[in-house]
Amino acid sequence: MPKLSSPSDFTNINVNYNIGNGYYTTHTDVSKLLQIAPFSSGTTPSIPEVGTLIKRAEERVDDIVGHSFRPIIYHNEFHGFEAFHMGAYPVQRFKDYVGFVQLDKNNIQKIVRLEAWQGTEYVDLASATAKIKMPASPQSGSWVIALTVGTYTFNIDKGIDFFDNFGPKTTASQLADAINEVFPHKTAKFTGETTAKSVTAQGNNAINISDFFYATTDSEAGDTVIISSLLLGEDGSACGITSTVGTITQFTDNQDQRRMGDYWTIDKDGKIFFLKNYPYLHSHSIRVTYVSGESRVPATVHDATTKLVAAEIIRHDDNSILIAETGSNIDLKTKHDILLEEANAILKGKRDIIHFIA
């Protein structure tokens, strides 16, 4: 059964990799494990460099285990809604749903989009969304798109956060990447950008736009950007959008998620059950974007991540600046091998297991 929490859980989660804090461990825990002086801006590695190692180790943990203990967005996951599947499982006399889908990941924290193909268009049944349609030609003056949530305002500026020189569909892709704060893979060869985009709140550069919003171009109208709120449920309907250019549709509540509503979920199992509003009976008629990740970081995951980072530091400590070999204790290579072996043994026990019942 799902465990709510444990006194052993890692709870010192104040994520900022630039200051050496990750989801699963911190630079302080790594230095304590190695029994060395705390990392600083003058050590090798420095605190930001340890933060980078932590980020890499966390991704390795997720890959080995098969799921994440931090919130990750999985986007545009397609599923079929086919009649012969609906009637076969599970076998029972009464069902309070007309069909269901099994998502690829469990531990669902938020259904960002639940798009059901209904013959002529995808209808979104989740969260709250807004839209902005790009103008057909480049704009000569300034262009600012503002997204508001609570007390925060995020200004997205043309020429800084996105470019509109190459047509409305390229502009739409640029805007979506700015909101998601990702590297513009599709458009960088046109714009010359070399880093991931970043948009922070006005007056508070520690608050990022991608923590509150998710955006894509409309698959049926490539010149339009659809923006979804990442707030719980339909709370995003209180968000706002303004723009000095383009055609805007304000945030609208799409969601009726409850046992007797459009759909309901078993979050731990990654199941979505449709009741009142559902897709046509077709292959690939459901498109889902969701946030997945366990709600707690177990002590074992914290332990394994700390050891992976410590092993990486030992491996690169060629000059023995931080970790001296005295000759009377375990040598550095042995320490490295022990840390890796212990970390991998811990993670092996946390892997997802699928049981097939004949």
Write out pLDDT tens, residues 24-38.
Answer: 999 999 999 999 999
Q: Into how many domains does the chain fold?
A: 3
Q: Which residue has the tokens 């997720």?
A: 62
Q: Is residue 193 part of a domain?
A: yes
Q: Is residue 306 part of a domain?
A: yes
* Helical residues (DSSP H) of the chain, grouped into ranges: 27-34, 47-65, 83-86, 168-180, 188-191, 299-316, 332-348
Q: From CA 141, how far away is CA 158, in angstroms rounded?
A: 9
* pLDDT at site 51: 97
Give the end of a domain, one of 219, 253, 287.
253
In a domain, 355, yes or no: no
pLDDT per position as a tens digit, 77-135: 999 886 555 554 555 556 777 888 899 999 999 999 999 888 888 889 999 999 999 99
Q: Do 304 and 210 fall within a single domain?
A: no
CATH number at residue 198: 2.60.40
Residue 51 lies in a domain: yes
Same domain, 150 and 247: yes
Is the domain of 324 the same as that of 249? no
Answer yes or no: are the C-beta atoms of 197 and 182 closer than 8 Å: yes
Tell me, yes or no, whether 167 lies in a domain.
yes
| Comparison of pLDDT for 40 and 84, the residue scoring more | 40
Q: Pairing state of beta strands 128-133 and 152-157?
A: unpaired
Q: How many CB atoms lie within 10 A of CB 258?
A: 10
What proportions of the chain, in percent to the nearest 5, are helix, strand and coil?
25, 25, 45
Domain containing 114: what range?
72-123+259-274
- Do 65 and 84 lie in one domain? The reply is no
Nearest to 73 by CA among 253, 216, 243, 178: 216
Check if the beta carbon of residue 285 is closer than 8 Å to that of residue 279: yes
Q: What is the largest CA-CA distance in the chain?
A: 74
Residue 353 lies in a domain: no
Statement to judge: residues 183 and 240 lie in one domain: yes
Identify whether residues 149 and 211 lie together within a single domain.
yes
Q: Which of 214, 244, 274 is where one domain is finished? A: 274
Two tokens, residue 193: 């950008």
Decide if 110 is inside a domain: yes
Question: Are 116 and 263 in the same domain?
Answer: yes
What is the four-CA torsion angle of 260, 261, 263, 268, rounded to 10 degrees? -60
Query: Would residue 12 count as lying in a domain?
Result: no
Residue 331's identity, in one-letter code, is: D
Encode pLDDT of 161-187 as tens digits: 999 999 999 999 999 999 999 999 999
How far is the C-alpha of 308 from the C-alpha of 350, rounded, in Å? 15
